[in-house]
């Protein structure tokens, strides 16, 4: 069924009676339904008319459009899954890359090399302070803000480097920390203890502006700060002010606002490496949401448990509300 309902991150789509009736006619005899951008909201009025339906899949993640009435789906014993985690593969890879770039202050070296100046001779290596900022990842400590799919995949990538990992995520239990062998702790500790801090939190009303001057200044000198989540989680001017002290490095795939204004100070700072929000947009990631959904369909109709159900905890996490 083709549909073009308005989609919003904060409000469910509103459908007129004609669209609702057309949707009921389409879904009433289905066993499974996949929805994505443009779909009408699957309300109780619709779900109550689908006696065979046992599976709903959301290709873009219900946090983006609120297209599914989760309470009604639960009432009618319909499993609801999403494949938002499909982007965790490329985003975690790019997070690791930015960590490595930051440890060598790669942004500063790139600026020198692209300025048509000689760079890297023996005199410069011995006298320029940039060359003293040249660290390795092995045995470092890393703090992760957010413990979702991206964080867990990044933890897998980090294991060979023998790092200590601290995680702040108010929605995680100690069972996850135990199974993945990391320390679950406070936001203040995740910012102040590690050598590297990676922001992986979803943008919600409670995380917007979460990192202000007080939190940013908790990061110790020589910290590498990486953000591959969303720009508005960090107060941009407060971050710029800290970076201008030249005592830490930032590697940012996201910023507020985007695109980054041409006259923004963040573009001029030596100790900053920037990429234009590319972490999750690989060629494979564009189709992975669908291939992952096919796997979930196969699990469900083979009588197995699905892996990526949308639960009340999922919705609480993505909306930023308490459990």
Question: What counts of helices (H) and strands (E) characterise the chain?
Answer: 14, 10
Active site residue 230: yes
Tally Cβ neighbours within 10 Å of residue 121: 9
Cα 52 from Cα 45, distance rounded (Å)? 15
Q: Compute the distance between CA of residue 320 and CA of residue 203 in angstroms, rounded to an integer.
A: 8
User: 125, 258, 267, 304: which is the annotated catalytic residue?
Assistant: 258
82 neighbors 33 (Cβ within 8 angstroms): no
Can you say how many angstroms the Cα of residue 216 is from the centroid of all Cα atoms in its chain? 19
Distance CA 131, CA 118 (A): 14
Token pair belonging to 104: 């060598």
How is 56-89 classified by DSSP, letter by letter? EEESS-HHHH--B-HHHHHHTT-EEEE-GGGGHH
Q: CA of 231: how far to CAs of 64, 112, 285, 313, in Å?
A: 16, 26, 21, 24
Angle, CA of 102, 273 and 243, to the nearest 5°: 80
Which helix (DSSP H) or strand (DSSP E) does residue 168 occupy?
A: strand 164-168
Which of 85, 104, 152, 230 is catalytic? The answer is 230
Known active-site residue 277: yes
Residues carrying an active site annotation: 230, 258, 277
């Amino acid at each position: 069924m083709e549909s073009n309902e308005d989609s919003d991150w904060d409000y469910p789509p509103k459908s007129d009676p004609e669209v609702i009736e057309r949707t009921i006619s389409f879904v009433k005899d289905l066993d499974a339904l996949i929805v994505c951008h443009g779909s009408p909201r699957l309300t109780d009025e619709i779900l109550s008319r689908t006696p065979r339906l046992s599976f709903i899949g959301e290709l873009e993640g219900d946090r983006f459009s609120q297209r599914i009435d989760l309470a009604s789906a639960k009432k009618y014993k319909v499993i609801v899954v999403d494949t938002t985690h499909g982007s965790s593969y490329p985003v975690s890879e790019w997070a690791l890359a930015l960590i490595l770039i930051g440890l060598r202050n790669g942004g500063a070296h790139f600026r020198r090399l692209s300025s048509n100046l000689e760079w890297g001779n023996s005199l410069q290596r011995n006298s320029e302070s940039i060359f003293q900022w040249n660290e390795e990842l092995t045995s470092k400590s890393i703090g992760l803000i957010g413990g979702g799919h991206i964080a867990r995949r990044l933890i897998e990538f980090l294991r060979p480097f023998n790092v200590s990992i601290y995680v702040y995520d108010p929605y995680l239990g100690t069972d996850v920390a135990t199974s993945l062998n990391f320390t679950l702790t406070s936001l203040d500790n995740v910012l102040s203890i590690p050598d590297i801090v990676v922001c992986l939190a979803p943008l919600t009303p409670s995380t917007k502006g979460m990192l202000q001057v007080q939190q940013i200044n908790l990061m110790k000198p020589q910290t590498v700060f990486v953000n591959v989540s969303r720009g508005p989680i960090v107060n941009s001017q407060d971050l710029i002010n800290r970076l201008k002290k030249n005592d830490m490095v930032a590697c940012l795939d996201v910023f507020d606002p985007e695109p980054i204004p041409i006259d923004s100070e963040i573009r001029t700072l030596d100790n900053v490496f920037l990429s234009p929000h590319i972490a999750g947009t690989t060629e494979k990631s564009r189709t992975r949401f669908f291939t992952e959904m096919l796997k979930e369909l196969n699990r469900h109709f083979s009588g197995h448990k699905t892996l990526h159900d949308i639960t009340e905890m999922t919705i609480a996490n993505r909306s930023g509300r308490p459990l």
